[in-house]
Structure formats: structure tokens, C-alpha cells
């Protein structure tokens, strides 16, 4: 499924599953879609998989839950640093800790890597990834380096 198809799929899920409670809820304790769009997609997904929205997400596959989280956040990748281009691919570090690779030809998402996790280090000092808001990725040979956390 291409990025446009994924967006449309997620939007349909959002319209069918979320909008009834989250659209126009200014006087309610339920957060509005606009408020949720300010959150990282990962936080919306966590609410669906292990938080207060588990019951409402019952019966959705993992792919549907991810599509829903992305749709609520309108696929806003929140790029905050310069992207890095190599032949055929653009690497984009994102505020939510995701490193994404896009195809130059059609801007399709090729892969994504979550840097918000613990990392092993060569000196055994604890290291945690996180938001990427400092510098773009650096490509050297077959290696890609990012600053995360």
C-alpha cells in the first residue's frame, strides 16, 4: 500500500472510529481531534494498544491501529532538521524519534526506525534515544549516523 493509500485508509478508520466522540468536543473531557493532532502518532497508538482506548481499538489489527494513529496525527512527520539525500533516498529525522527513509522518485515511505529506545554502547554507559531536533543524518559509505535523545 502506498503512502496516499495508507493516508486514505487511516482517514476512513478515523472517520468511522474516532470522529463520533472526538470531533467538536470543546466542552467535553474527551480530547478533540485537533488536540490529538498535536501529539506524536506514537502516543495516540499507545492509547489504543495499552491505554484508555483499548476497548475502542478492540478488533483492529496492528496495521489498522498504526494507520489510525497516523491519521489522527494527519501524517505530520514534524521534520525539524535538514533531510539528508543520497542517490534515490532521502533520510528524515523527526521530532517523534522516528528516522524515516523516503524514495526520491515518488516520496514513498521506504522504512522507518524508532530511535526512542535503549541502545548498547561500547563503553557500557546507558544510552537512550529520543527526539531528533539537533542535526540531520550523516551518510558515510554504507553507514547512516543520527543524533537522537
pTM of the model: 0.49
Indicate if the alpha-carbon torsion angle 43, 118, 113, 144 is positive or negative.
positive
pLDDT of residue 75: 41
pLDDT under 70 in the chain at which residues?
1-8, 24-28, 38, 40-41, 70-80
pLDDT tens across 43-65, in order? 777 888 888 888 888 888 877 77
The pLDDT, as a whole number, for residue 123 is 95
Q: Write the DSSP symbol of residue 129.
A: -
**pLDDT at position 21:** 82
86: Cβ contacts below 8 Å, ≥ 6 apart: 139
Residue ranges matching CATH 2.40.10 in the chain: 84-145
**What is the Cα–Cα distance from 2 to 9, expressed in whole angstroms?**
10
Topology of the domain comprising 84-145: Thrombin, subunit H (2.40.10)
Say which residues have a Cβ less than 8 Å from residue 99's Cβ, sequence separation at least 6.
Answer: 91, 92, 93, 112, 113, 115, 132, 137, 144, 146, 148
Angstrom CA distances, 132 to 43, 81, 100, stand at 16, 8, 12
pLDDT of the residue at 122: 93
Amino acid at each position: 500500500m502506498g503512502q496516499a493509500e495508507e493516508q486514505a485508509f487511516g482517514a476512513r478508520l478515523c472517520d468511522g472510529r474516532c470522529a463520533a466522540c472526538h470531533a467538536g468536543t470543546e466542552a467535553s473531557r474527551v480530547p478533540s481531534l485537533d488536540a490529538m493532532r498535536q501529539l506524536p502518532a506514537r502516543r495516540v497508538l499507545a492509547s489504543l494498544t495499552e491505554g484508555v482506548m483499548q476497548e475502542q481499538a478492540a478488533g483492529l489489527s496492528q496495521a489498522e491501529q498504526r494507520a489510525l494513529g497516523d491519521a489522527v496525527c494527519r501524517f505530520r512527520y514534524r521534520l525539524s532538521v535538514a533531510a539528508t539525500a543520497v542517490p534515490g533516498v532521502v533520510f528524515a529525522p523527526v521530532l517523534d524519534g522516528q528516522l524515516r527513509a523516503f524514495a526520491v522518485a515518488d516520496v514513498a515511505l521506504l522504512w522507518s526506525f524508532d530511535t526512542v529506545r535503549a541502545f548498547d554502547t561500547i563503553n557500557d554507559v546507558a544510552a537512550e534515544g529520543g527526539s531528533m531536533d539537533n542535526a540531520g543524518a550523516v551518510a558515510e559509505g554504507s553507514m547512516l549516523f543520527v543524533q537522537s535523545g
